[in-house]
Structures are given as C-alpha cells and as structure tokens.
Amino acid sequence: MPAPARSRRRERPATGARPAARAVWTALGVLVIAVWIFPVYWMATTAFKSTPAMEADPPQLWPHTPSLIHFRKVVDDPLFWDAVRNSALVTGITVPVAVLVAFASALAIARFRFRGRGTYLAAVMLVQMVPHVALVVPIFLTLSDVGLSDSVPGLVVTYLAFILPFAVWTLRGFVASVPKDLEEAAMTDGCTRMGAFRRIILPLTLPGLIATSVYAMILAWNEYLFAYFILASPDKYTVPLWLTHFVTSEGTDYGALMAGSVIVSTPVVIFFMIVQRHLAAGLTAGAVKG
C-alpha cells in the first residue's frame, strides 16, 4: 500500500507543471499571432493617417485624427475600377471552372481504377513541385503564339493551369474519405448513381469544395507574378498589378498604397469570414483518408 501513495506523490509535481507549460505555449502562440497580425494592423492604420501623421517621429500606433484622403485618391482613380472589374472577372471564371473540373477529376481518381491512374497522380504532384518563376517565360511565349498574351482570357488559362493540380489532389482526399458503402447503400435503396452522388457524395464533400474554392479565390485575386508578365495594358491590370503604379521613380505614395491594399484585401476577408466554419470542417475532414 505505501508504494501507490509514493507514486501519487511523485505525480503531483508533474500535474502541477502542466498549467505552467500551458501558459508558456499560450504566450508563445500569442507572440506568433502578434507578429503575423502587426503588418496587417500597420497597413490598416496607415491608410487612415494623413501624410504628416505617417511621417511623425515617433510613429503613431493609432491615427489621432483619421483621414479618408487616401481612400478618395484610390476611388477617384479610373484605373482602379478597371482593375477591380478585371480581377472580379478573372476570379469569377477561374474559381468555379477550377472547382468543377477538379471535382470531376477527383471523383474519377477516387472511385474508378483505370490504366495510367498512378502516372496521372504523379504528374499532378510534379506540377506542384515546379517553381512558378521557372515557368513564366514558357507560359508567356505559349500565350503569345496563340494570341492570348496581354489578355484576361490568357490570365484565366494560366491560373487554371496552376490551381487545378492542387485542387484535384485536395478534392481527391475528400472524395476518398466518403465510404463507398454509403453510396452503394443509396443505390440499393433505389437511387441512381447520379442520385447517390447528389444525396451522399456532394453533401459530404461540400466542406472540401468550400476549402478548395477559398484557396482558388485567394490565388486568383492576389496573384501578381504571372499578371506582371502577361498583362501589359494598364486597362487590363488586375488589382495587385494596379497597386504598383503608386511606386514610381519619384517615390512611393504609401498612403494611397496602404488604402488600396486595404480595399483589395476586403473581399477576400469577407469571403473567408462567411465560409470559415465550413473551411475549418473541410480542412479536418480532408485529412481522414488520402
């Protein structure tokens, strides 16, 4: 009997150390979050500062007299609305097309066995491993040969080429995580294959579709490298490319640049807030089975 008592006494310091370890990890997490959030906070507050406030020494952590002068400069720029229209068009076409094509491919890979399936999966992974900067020149030359350089359709085709491999690989995991028994049971009860797809596979993979859509939207809305090399006409710029015209040889208009960045980031933030609950469920569900 004394032995268990001694073992319990030995365990008490360990249990007492858990709150301290938890506090350390919590503090570390708060520090990491602060480091990530501070640039966004500084961007947002700078957008509301007047020019003298931005140049104040020491810097103002919060604008004492918020100003909308930089936002007016952004909104009054006619090229801004052209850029918003172009980005909305590119995103509105790229996201649904990429998700639909990737979902169909994921269904074929996860549910059917066919010759070349392993090679196809290897090719999907290989495309994701190639650095984007290494493909800029080949893509530009290819688009020039077919007459799609300096055009919004050429940018859409380029984005689809890079979003699809990731989307196919991700959605394959979601489809594979749905047991075949559920689909077969639905068909046994009288559902057709399409009916089983609508009632079983589609609802269970909806979080994965939303998670993939978020990734596709962020990439299509914020992408800069390919837009920089493919688009040459200012009236065809997307919003990330449009922001660069505040950086000139005479200097950088930081107020307008920060205000434009806040406006450009707002649609993605709103979309993420709307779907974040489904996104969290999708990220955990997709890891069940690969």
Q: Kindly report, residue by residue over 130-150, the tens digit of the pLDDT.
A: 888 888 888 989 999 998 888
Stretch (H or E) spanning 153: helix 152-176
The reply to whether 65 falls in a domain is: no
pLDDT of 289 > 50? The answer is no
Do residues 47 and 147 share a domain? no
Do residues 217 and 115 share a domain? yes
The reply to whether 229 falls in a domain is: yes
Do residues 156 and 24 share a domain? no
Q: What domain range is 142 assigned to?
A: 72-285
Give the pLDDT score at 92. 93
Residues 7-23 have a mean pLDDT of 62
pLDDT of 121 > 90? The answer is no
Do residues 34 and 170 share a domain? no
Q: Which residues of 18-29 are buried (b: 16+ CB within 10 A; e: fewer)?
A: eeeeeeeeeeee
**Alpha-carbon span 156 to 171, nearest angstrom:** 21
Do residues 124 and 26 share a domain? no
pLDDT of 4 > 70? The answer is no
Give the pLDDT score at 1. 47
Q: Kindly report, residue by residue over 217-239, the tens digit of the pLDDT.
A: 888 998 898 999 999 888 899 99
Do residues 141 and 36 share a domain? no
Q: Kindly report, residue by residue over 85-120, the tens digit of the pLDDT.
A: 999 999 999 999 999 999 988 888 887 777 877 787
Residues 63-76 have a mean pLDDT of 86
Do residues 152 and 43 share a domain? no
Give the pLDDT score at 91. 92
Do residues 271 and 136 share a domain? yes
Q: Phi then psi for 75, rounded to 5 degrees?
A: -65, -30
- Contact between 53 and 65 under an 8 Å Cβ cutoff? The reply is yes
Residues 203-224 have a mean pLDDT of 86
Do residues 80 and 136 share a domain? yes
Give the mean pLDDT of the chain.
82
Do residues 90 and 33 share a domain? no
The reply to whether 77 falls in a domain is: yes
Could you tell me which residues come within 8 angstroms of residue 80 by beta carbon, excluding any fewer than 6 positions away? 74, 239, 242, 260
Give the pLDDT score at 101. 92
Lowest-confidence pick of 73-77, 90-94, 251-255: 251-255
Residues 175-197 have a mean pLDDT of 80
Which amino acid would we find at residue 202? L
Per the structure, the count of domains in the chain is: 2
Confidence of residue 286 (pLDDT cuts 50, 70, 90): very low
Ranges of beta strands (E only) in 184-237 are none
Q: Which residues of 256-274 are buried (b: 16+ CB within 10 A; e: fewer)?
A: bbbbbbbbbbebeeebeee
pLDDT of 288 > 50? The answer is no
Q: Give the global pTM.
A: 0.77
The reply to whether 180 falls in a domain is: yes
Which CATH number characterizes residue 254's domain?
A: 1.10.3720.10
